[in-house]
A and B are shown apart, each in its own frame.
Chain A
């Protein structure tokens, strides 16, 4: 199971920008709001988080020590 970026459909204004920039096809618009599917193609580039002006997408990093 690949973890995917988190989405907050409440914050999404349906602009579709993240869908356009995502290179892995994980993001789609469903009923004018963002939807995400799981895929190993997502390399956590964080571009979706970077372009989203409403803060509806988050790509959190798990921080650990060896």
Chain B
């Protein structure tokens, strides 16, 4: 069995299909590689292909009018991206960038439509994939649209240094801050950037220094 065939068998999109069906889909797949930092999709452009990450990882993000990036998801091997614009025919809702050297398996939009017609099982699988995508995005939207998350992150930082009583607190990963703030890791990254822009903190490699305690407190109050 080829590497590609073996890969497709394990992709959620094609789960439950027999070997003959996977083989017929395999013929429609093309390879595309990207270097570290290369854009594989641009927000607003029209999409023609659906992609699966075969190796490496891809960051899917939106860019605000001020040029700020919000990560929506990290796509790992076996997962797909660009599904939304393939199925609704609209422009790419987000951009995607290779986080390192990446190998993608692509399928053209027209071929996807044929696959859906010929293999009803895939339709169910796609619904599954899209439903969990929506669930993830809904939870992000909740947190991104409310100011209180950045306030919660500010509060966590403030409490770690004992409200200024202690010079140095314990060490926390973004993952841990996310768990403490009841949010996703993606939101913490953005909150830290926002706090840095407010002048409340300074991120220096693996150190977060509270540079303006009063500014930090203001963020905590405004958003509580």
Would B161 and A63 count as touching, CB distance under 8 A? yes
CB of B73, distance to nearest CB on chain A (Å): 10
B157-174 contacts to A (CB < 8 Å): 157, 160-161, 164, 166-174
Would A51 and B207 count as touching, CB distance under 8 A? no
Considering only CB atoms and an 8 Å cut-off, how many residues of chain B contact the other chain? 37
Which of B157, B164, B168, B175 is the one whose CB lies under 8 Å from A55? B175
What is the number of contacts between chain A and chain B, taking CB atoms within 8 Å? Answer: 93
Q: Is A20 on the interface with B (CB-CB < 8 A)?
A: yes
Contact partners of B174 in chain A: CB under 8 A: 46, 49-50, 59, 61
Q: Is B210 on the interface with A (CB-CB < 8 A)?
A: yes
A15 to B77, CA, bound (A): 10
Contact partners of B209 in chain A: CB under 8 A: 64-66
A3-55 contacts to B (CB < 8 Å): 3, 15, 17, 20-23, 43-44, 46-47, 49-51, 53, 55
List residues of A whose CB falls within 8 A of some B CB.
3, 15, 17, 20-23, 43-44, 46-47, 49-51, 53, 55, 58-66
